[in-house]
């Protein structure tokens, strides 16, 4: 029996099954990590998005404070003045399946700056042409909105005043000063005189869809069993295996009809 197992053909299949199983396990863990990341974000949205706004300092005590995973989409209120001359736009942002730009305006809060996403505008006639959008007010304003962390750097070099993503280190390189380690997606704003300024289109509410990643993880782990099935198949289909199984199977004695009648 051991000679039949330890053949090059079977050992090669076992090695393949081990490598295949490890690959399936790693891919399953990768999908599980993606699910856990989306689940954490969705839990934060469900816990924070609809809550009443609190002062910014209650969530971020200082500009250097990091936004915790469970604090994403916390609703806060903050008062300051916009640095309108340092307005940035973020390219390739969608709203209701249409491509456009998001408008970021630095809000001076004491000695630091909080980047505020005031909303979305549709693209201009050409990609090189920036569309017109309502300017932020220059007087003191109270802004209410949701905090989000810095986005990944996409590695694109764009003209001054433009970003490929809301990457806070890149934004700080353009506007200077001390920047809060989160940015604000604006819900409402009101000036000291009680006016509500014009603004770009509000962004869509965040999604709480966790995606199919957990199901994909299970599929990869179950697929690992195919490697074992492949080894079993090769072992059972080895030369002479069918004949040996047939010889080992006890043969039933055929009973003739008249023998049954005689009995």
Question: For 124-170, how does the pLDDT look when each residue is reduced to its tens digit (9 = 90+)?
Answer: 776 667 889 999 999 999 999 999 999 999 888 888 899 999 999 99
pLDDT tens column, 47-59: 889 899 999 999 9
DSSP annotation of 245? H
Whether the per-residue pLDDT at 243 is higher than 50: the answer is no
Q: Is 249 helix (H, G, I), strand (E, B) or coil?
A: coil
User: What confidence score (pLDDT) does residue 233 get?
Assistant: 67
**Helical packing angle, 8-48 and 225-236, nearest 10°:** 160
Residues 161 and 72 in one domain: yes
Whether the per-residue pLDDT at 262 is higher than 60: the answer is no
Q: Give the position of tokens 């399953």.
A: 28
Give the Cα separation of 13 and 20 in Å (integer).
10
- Whether 257 is covered by a domain: the verdict is no
- Whether 223 is covered by a domain: the verdict is yes
pLDDT tens column, 30-75: 999 988 888 888 888 888 898 999 999 999 999 999 999 889 999 9
Residues 173 and 105 in one domain: yes
| Band of residue 21 on the pLDDT scale cut at 50, 70, 90 | confident
Residues 77 and 7 in one domain: no
Q: Which two tokens stand for residue 244?
A: 């040996």
Residues 185 and 57 in one domain: yes
Q: How far is CA 45 from CA 56, 176, 244, in A?
A: 17, 30, 64
Give the Cα separation of 17 and 30 in Å (integer).
20
Residues 103 and 217 in one domain: no
**Domain count of the fold of the chain:** 2
Contact 147, 59 (CB under 8 A): yes
- Residue 153: give its domain's CATH number: 2.40.50
Give the Cα separation of 179 and 62 in Å (integer).
10
Give the Cα separation of 4 and 243 in Å (integer).
14
Instruction: Report the percent of the chain where pLDDT is more than 90.
Output: 51
Residues 5 and 76 in one domain: no
pTM confidence score: 0.72
User: What confidence score (pLDDT) does residue 257 get?
Assistant: 56
Residues 91 and 140 in one domain: yes
Please give the residue range of the domain that contains residue 161: 51-191
């Amino acid at each position: 029996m051991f000679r039949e197992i330890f053949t090059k053909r079977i050992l090669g299949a076992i090695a393949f099954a081990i490598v295949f199983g490890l690959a399936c396990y790693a891919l399953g863990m990768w999908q599980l990590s993606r699910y856990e990341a989306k689940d954490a974000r969705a839990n934060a949205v469900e816990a924070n998005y609809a809550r009443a706004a609190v002062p910014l300092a209650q969530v971020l005590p200082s500009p250097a404070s990091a936004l915790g995973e469970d604090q994403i989409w916390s609703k806060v209120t903050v008062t300051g003045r916009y640095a309108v001359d340092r307005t940035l736009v973020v390219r390739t942002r969608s709203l209701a399946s249409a491509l456009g730009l998001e408008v970021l305006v630095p809000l001076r809060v004491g000695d630091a700056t909080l980047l505020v996403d005031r909303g979305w505008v549709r693209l201009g006639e050409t990609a090189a042409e920036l569309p017109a959008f309502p300017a932020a007010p220059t007087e003191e304003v109270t802004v209410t909105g949701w905090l989000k962390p810095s986005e990944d750097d996409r590695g694109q070099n764009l003209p001054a005043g433009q970003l490929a993503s809301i990457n806070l280190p890149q934004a700080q390189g353009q506007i200077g000063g001390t920047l809060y380690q989160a940015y604000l997606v604006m819900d409402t704003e009101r000036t000291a005189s009680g006016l509500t300024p014009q603004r770009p289109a509000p962004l869509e509410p965040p999604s709480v869809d966790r995606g199919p990643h957990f199901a994909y993880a299970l599929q990869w782990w179950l697929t690992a069993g195919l490697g074992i099935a492949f080894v079993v198949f090769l072992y059972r289909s080895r030369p002479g295996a069918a004949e040996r199984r047939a010889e080992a199977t006890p043969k039933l004695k055929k009973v003739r009809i008249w023998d049954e009648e005689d009995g």
